[in-house]
Chain A
Amino acid sequence: MNYIGEHLLPGQIGHFFSLLFLVSAGVATVAFFMASKNSALVAESVSWQKIARKAFLVETFSVLALFVTLYYIISHHYFEYKYAFNHSDKSLQIEYLLSCFWEGQEGSFMLWSFWHCVLGWFFIRKKSIWENGVLGVINLAQFCLATMLIGLYFFNAKVGSSPFILLRHDTVAPIFSNPNYLQMLGDGKGLNTLLQNYWMVIHPPILFLGFASTIIPFALAIAGLLNNRHEWTGTALSWTGFSAAVLGLGVMMGAAWAYESLSFGGYWAWDPVENASLVPWLTLVAGLHTNMIYKNSGYSLRPTYFFYIISFCLILYSTFLTRSGILGDTSVHAFTDLEMNTQLLLFLFVFLIPSMVLYAYRYREIPSIAKEEDSYSREFWLFIGSLVLFLAGIVIIAKTSVPVFNKVFGTKIAPPEDTEYAYNQIQIFVAIVIGILSAITQYLKYKTTPRAYLGKHIWLPTAIAIVISLSISFLGDINFTKKGMGFLWAIHIAIFAAVYSVVANFSYIWLVLKGKVKAAGASVAHVGFGLMLVGILISSSKKTVLSWNTTGITPLSANSKGSAAGDPAENITLFKGLKTDMGKFWVTYQGDSINPLDRKRYFDIHFIAKKGEESFSLFPDVIKQNKGGEGFAANPAAKHYWNKDIFVYITSFQENNQTDTSTFQPRTIKVGDTLFYSSGWMRLDSVSVNPASRQFLYANDETAVFLNLTLEGKNGSRYPAHPGMALKGNQWRPIVDTVVAQSVAITFNRVLDEKKGLLEIGVKQSASITSLLTLKVYEFPMINLLWLGTILMVIGFFLSVWQRIRFGKTGRSATS
């Protein structure tokens, strides 16, 4: 059949370059390894290297071509391609077209291999003796990535998933019997609304650069093991520093996104997806420190090998975790299962098993020093710190791997009741140890430290840190008692440790390095890390809900400890135009409007502080769900102060567009009587004739009778209501009064019995009386310390990388 309007050429180009990518990566792998093997025969090695570089050039070109082709398909809205149909639509803003790449697995694999190419060329440019070994390893990884993209069948087994496959080839549907199906298809399914956020444009490229860059220390270690030479550790330091900086930045950008979209309820929720990228960072940083030890003292080469190997393998493991669908019931944010589990596992094992075998095989030959480190030496405490980081990582990844354990052993273990606390209660001790170690260790010298030197320098920062942390503890009102006194104590000790780390490293720059900031990369990074810890501790233990709502809590349920019904809940209901009491603020839902550009509905929520003059509006929004979803995805809005953020988040809304089908129910009442309605009761207090206060409702020639009612809602709030009627001769007209907050409209119908004082009123209860929304409001204090710390840490990493590239090219300065 001839289909109308299809564009088949880009797909053919895509398929061609996918294959070319695979082949050239294979050739480059073999050639680079041959070149590294024949190091004795120089000429042969050089010619192998020439072939390898050419293959790598072709490969790089193929990857770029794949990128351009896929971008062309997405940006031209060629929905005949499955990838464009599933991940984009016509209304998408240009800046989010790139986000479509990483919504799917195929695009993010492409991104990964793109960074491999970039890093590879940088490495080649350095003219390192390790080029062949390192590029060989990179190309093996590239080959594996290429297999993920080809989407071909070998002996009935699907290998990879191509982003260039046509929708009609992938899907069986009656529509494809129509040659004009594209016209009927109309539009794509769109980009997931969660990803329509500017952080999602920048976070994935940075994170994948971090992922990709961990291969360099790994490849150096492998090349070192293969050749039984260990000078690579000098080269590795700056690459590892770069990798730790970028990976750390990528992880924290993910945290910033999670924070801003509140999709995890904060910046960190120990979601498996977050853990899987944090753990390799921890082991990489451990490796960076042992690498420093080896460079300066000759100790800890064996652990350096181990940490670098395990870091890259953990990246591959996290790839498996997040992409295999195995996290299904524990993570909200994993990729879709593309049925490539076997292939993803193979990717892991292809690297893990040979490298571990090689490591074990060479272990005895790796030089190590028999003599023990001095207790007052920097290398001893650096090693302890690295070990703690590594073990913290092991504990995190073990907990995260419960679904894998379930799958392998057929068990049905579920996460604990309070997942976050299960992590926090352990990691807080890691924070204490790491905080204190990073404070003190800088003041120790390699080999051994004279006691006088240590005493002279360390007392001042220690004293300052104690003063600052005590004032935070006493004046900061940190009173997180939810998890018991033990945990609260741990928080206070951890605050000291974090402050200590900041102060000690800061003073190290002035006291010891005499203010030479350029040379203080490590100290700057540690100050940043310490600030991050302070920010995490304060913001997490002091996060407050401003929208506490006690509706529906009876004295009875409030007493029953531990039941959810007894706790105040986080959602508060706002009616359009009605000023509502919310803790420190009066809030009003003033209106909403739809921005046609980003297709979001913005709500105007006005805040007036009860204390002081402050008032401001926030505009949280909702965007219509796509991909089969019918509801809305909410984006919070935040008011940023220097010391806190206030977040507003729409949890549901109801528009006043339904036709009102409910009717006024007649009820009999007399003065002093009480009537119940669905959400409270009302009492008729009095009847007044021609009250001056209501004069705006009736004309001068009318006689008006008003009922003065008091309504009390379930939450105890009282509202006055004044339904009435105006009489003019034989004519009368009702004056309806509406209590918006209770969604009740009341009329005064007639007098039933004048003598007994019986009156008939009409009560109508309807949700459609007004537009309403429910929202949550959070306050995160001191969150800026976390972001500031992150930035400082990254700057510190880059400073030391830059310093090392400029001044130190040698392997080890001290040999044992």
Chain B
Amino acid sequence: MKKTSIVLLVLIAAAIVVLISYTGDLTTYETIASAKEKPGKFVNLIAKINNDYPMEYDAVKNPNYLSFVAVDSLGNSIKVVYHNNKPTDMEKSERLVLKGKVQDDHFECKDILMKCPSKYKDAPNNQTVSKTL
């Protein structure tokens, strides 16, 4: 067999191994109910802020503590704790991707991805235009 072919095979095998091992690192999107069943497992929640409860953030007391209640599309709620600053415009966000895990009674959040109607978007301008006018 040619040297080149051997190297080729080895490298391709390596790439396949890498991709397969990567699938082990992958996480899943969960609902609040299904995340609660897997405490300690790193998951992604798609939810929004439940405005019935106050959002707790006081930079005077602790600039690295944010807590709020998130609700998903199925109507389940969970308290979320995020040890970082409150992302700007978070209240306006209509959709949050919360990355973290359920710990005891709350969701320990490592990262928040916001899906704002504002960012780069001009799709929902129908509402925005009529709202601003």
Contact = CB atoms under 8 A, between A and B. Distances in A.
A407 B130 CA distance: 33
Nearest to B14: A391
B74 interface: no
Interface in A358-400: 372-373, 375, 380, 383-384, 387-388, 391, 394-395, 398-399
A416 B60 contact: no
B125 interface: yes
Interface in B1-50: 2-4, 7-8, 11-12, 14-15, 18-19, 22, 25-29, 42-44, 46
Nearest to A387: B11
Nearest to A572: B63
A743 B8 CA distance: 66
Contacts of A398: 19, 22
Contacts of A773: 59
Interface string B86-120: 10111110000101100100001110010111111
Q: Is the interface of B mostly helix, strand, loop or mixed?
A: mixed
A293 to B, nearest CB: 12
B83 A334 contact: no
Contacts of A103: 120
B83 A564 contact: yes
A567 B117 CA distance: 33
A402 B4 contact: no
A328 B126 CA distance: 20
Interface string A392-420: 00110011001000000000111111000
Interface string A788-800: 0000000000000
B113 A175 contact: no
A446 interface: no
Contacts of A332: 113, 119
Contacts of A402: 26
Contacts of B103: 563
B76 interface: no
18 contacts: A333-B120, A372-B3, A387-B7, A391-B12, A413-B29, A414-B29, A426-B22, A551-B61, A552-B64, A563-B108, A565-B108, A567-B83, A626-B118, A628-B116, A679-B60, A714-B61, A742-B60, A772-B60
A549 B12 CA distance: 46
A571 B130 contact: no
Interface string A141-160: 00000000000000000000
Interface stretch (A349-357, A501-509, A629-637, A695-703): A629-637
B8 A573 contact: no
A774 B92 CA distance: 21
Interface stretch (A28-36, A65-73, A166-174, A492-500): A166-174
Given A104-B122, A375-B3, A629-B116, A414 B44 contact: yes
A184 interface: yes
A334 B59 CA distance: 31
Contacts of A629: 88-89, 92, 116, 118
A344 to B, nearest CB: 16
A767 interface: yes
Contact of A573 (B3, B11, B25, B60): B60
A569 B64 contact: yes
B19 A395 contact: yes
A415 B27 contact: yes
A405 to B, nearest CB: 10
A734 B7 CA distance: 85
A-B interface, 4 closest residue pairs, ranked by CB to CB distance from nearest: A569-B64, A416-B25, A631-B88, A651-B85
